[in-house]
Amino acid sequence: MNSMTLTNTEIRDYLHGKNDTELFAAADRVRREVFGTDVYLRGIIEFSNYCKQDCLYCGLRRGNRSVRRYRLTTDEILECAGEIGDSGISTIVLQTGEDPWYSDSDIAEIITAIKSQYDIAITLSLGERKKETYQLWREAGADRYLIRLESFNEKSYSDARPGTVRKDRLNCLETLRELDYEVGSGIMIGLPGDTVDDVVIAIRDLTAMHLHMIGMGPFVAHNQTPFAEETNGNVDIVLRAYALMRILNPTANIPSTSAMESARPGGRMRGLQVGANVIMPSFTPKRVKELYNIYPGKNVQQDIDEDGLQAALAMIEKAGYNISWARGDSPLKGKCSN
């Protein structure tokens, strides 16, 4: 398989299951050529489940009155960060719903405090912000930023994210690149209204963006949202998308997401075997972890222990890969400006 000659028709055929054996073997071969057998660890802290947005697919949506909300204090966030740093993991991911309660300077002070204690990369996933905010956080020491596009179908995006404009999100990605962040984006596969052809377009367009990180996962219907009765995304198509993304984006860091596990037991491990090279164990305090319930099965009580570091390490070894404690910067870093 020659990634340079993959046509849209070939991508579509592979997504439909044309030849999984060939596709998955090619993806694993590419990831081994670039990353060897290493799987990078990212410790994630979900420090607030408040969100100003009202996305129709997300359990944290503003209109969901059934959620018990929480916010961690600065001291609690730093305590979690200390657990990650002391574990040996070299990347912290700070993530919330879009919660303006924390001021820009609050986040900057948290970043600075973590950097003063640990030689560690900091990834932010805090939604759409102004350029000045991104710049403040970059100057404070943030290294990476994740902001998923969710869909490349304009109508699906607008329907699923009322009151938002997809172009604003694209502009944020460009701003982050200008500020020299490592930039990550991605899609939700199976979002109501999307088709396999939309996934083909997303694979092409995300590849053209030369991203450092690419995140994908299946749509999982949440019973406290307007999309409660919609059909979940097809996990097999997600796995094929992982493989295609790896082949087309050899140097990108691609996580096997927790949504994969929610959609299908063993899904995260299978993701590693078809091209993904990152796992993100949660370090959110157990007393609130289950409340960061963006989709069913995310951090629910019976799965809390299974989402932790030791379970992640065991899974990586079971999948046949090497646990890497390195920062895991993308090999693309500093090599591409467009």
Tokens of 259: 């949504």
Hunting for tokens 């003063």 — which residue is that? Answer: 116
- Other C-beta atoms closer than 10 Å to the C-beta of 8 total 12
What is the residue range of 248's domain? 3-324
For residue 145, is it within any domain?
yes
pLDDT, residue 4, reads 58
Residue 306 lies in a domain: yes
Residue 333 forms part of a structural domain: no
What CATH number does residue 192 fall under? 3.20.20.70
Residue 97 within a domain: yes
pTM value?
0.94
| pLDDT score recorded for residue 296 | 65
Tokens of 90: 């070299």
Residue 1: what pLDDT?
63
Distance (Å, whole) CA 184 – CA 123: 10
CB 12 within 8 A of CB 200: yes
- pLDDT tens-digit map of 259-305: 898 889 999 999 999 999 999 999 999 999 999 988 765 544 344 44
pLDDT in tens, 75-97: 999 999 999 999 999 999 999 99
Compute the distance between CA of residue 309 and CA of residue 331 in angstroms, rounded to an integer. Answer: 25
- CA 259/CA 147 separation, integer angstroms: 16
The reply to whether 185 falls in a domain is: yes
Tell me how long the chain is.
Answer: 338
pLDDT beneath 50, residues of the chain: 299-306, 337-338
- Tokens standing for 115? 């950097």
Residue 206, in any domain of the structure: yes
Beta-carbon contacts of residue 265 (< 8 Å; ≥ 6 apart) = none
Nearest by Cα to 35 from 221, 284, 275, 237: 275
338 in a domain, yes or no? Answer: no
State residue 302's pLDDT score.
Answer: 40
Q: Is residue 330 part of a domain?
A: no
Domain count, the chain: 1
Question: Which one-letter DSSP state was computed for residue 62?
Answer: T
